[in-house]
Amino acid sequence: MCSPTPRLGFWATAGYGWGERSFEPDDDTEYNPDTTMAMAAAGINGVLLDGGSEGTSVTTTADVLTLKATSEEVDELASSEGSLSRLRVGLEATRPVPLANGASLLPMHGGGHQARQW
């Protein structure tokens, strides 16, 4: 992840793969078409409101994903192509809970894991 400022971060990744699929339909004929897959994803997160150690903080996160997979025509088996895309946008608000001894409790979701999967 790249963070140009303490309040803003972004990431990106891409990939390309190729290979051969192998499957046998009910008639015991084996097909082995060449296949390819390409994908790209990028995301950004940022602090919209920084409540400090006692106030409510609000952050936003967004990501986009696109994927395309193809297979070639083999014998009487037609070629195929599939694609998908996804856009996610989310808001997260947190507020520390002060404790009697001067410490504070900061609620976390996902078992406290740093990587958010929403």
Instruction: Count how many residues are written for the chain.
Output: 118
Q: What is the pLDDT of residue 109?
A: 58
Write out residues in the chain with pLDDT < 70, as ranges: 1, 3, 108-118
Rounded CA-CA distance 52/18 in Å is: 49
pTM recorded for the entire structure: 0.68
Q: What is the pLDDT of residue 65?
A: 96
